[in-house]
């Protein structure tokens, strides 16, 4: 199994980070404007990317330390994987630890998604620090052959 692991540090408040990860409004502000659903434990959140399709996540954990989702709908490579955001507080600094867990292999789609997750983590960072992210459809576009 392969995992995508990313992190960034920020002086943005813990409350701002939690809001960005646990509310539909917050998620839509940095990942995709096509976000809907119930972002609470036991709920499901749909993330849509226009003609590119999307993903459905079941919220397995949601608390002051972060979230854990299981992918229940979307591309075969994603279904059954988990997406985790953990917030580690250190005085006036917060560390965001991200993992996309359980990929079957490190094929071309894995590599593409690794790069896209990196761009969306930077969008999350911009959102919590400056108030404006780059969610789809205004995200940084990555050229990907065969995707």
pLDDT score of 23 more than 90: yes
Reference 30, options 135, 144, 131; nearest CA is 135
Mean pLDDT (whole number) for 32-48: 97
Contact criterion met (CB below 8 Å) for 78 and 85: no
Tokens of 66: 């972060």
Specify the pLDDT at position 32. 98
Which domains does the chain possess? 2-130 (3.30.530.20)
Roughly what angle, to the nearest 10 degrees, separates helices 14-22 and 108-130? 130
Tokens of 32: 């995709």
Tell me the pLDDT tens digit for each residue of 93-147. Answer: 999 999 999 999 999 999 999 999 999 999 999 999 999 999 999 999 987 654 4
pTM for this model (two decimals): 0.94
CA distance 140 to 48: 16
């Amino acid at each position: 199994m392969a995992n995508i692991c990313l992190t960034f540090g920020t002086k943005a408040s813990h409350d701002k980070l939690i809001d960005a990860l646990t509310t539909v409004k917050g998620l839509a502000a940095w990942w995709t404007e096509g976000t809907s659903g119930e972002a609470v434990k036991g709920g499901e959140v749909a993330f849509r990317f226009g003609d590119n399709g999307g993903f459905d996540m079941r919220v397995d954990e949601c608390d002051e330390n972060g979230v854990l989702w299981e992918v229940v709908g979307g591309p075969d490579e994603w279904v059954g994987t988990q997406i985790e955001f953990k917030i580690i507080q250190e005085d006036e600094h917060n560390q965001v630890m991200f993992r996309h867990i359980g990929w079957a292999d490190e094929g071309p789609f894995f590599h593409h998604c690794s790069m896209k997750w990196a761009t969306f983590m930077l969008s999350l960072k911009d959102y919590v620090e400056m108030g404006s992210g780059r969610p789809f459809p205004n995200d940084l576009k990555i050229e990907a052959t065969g995707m």
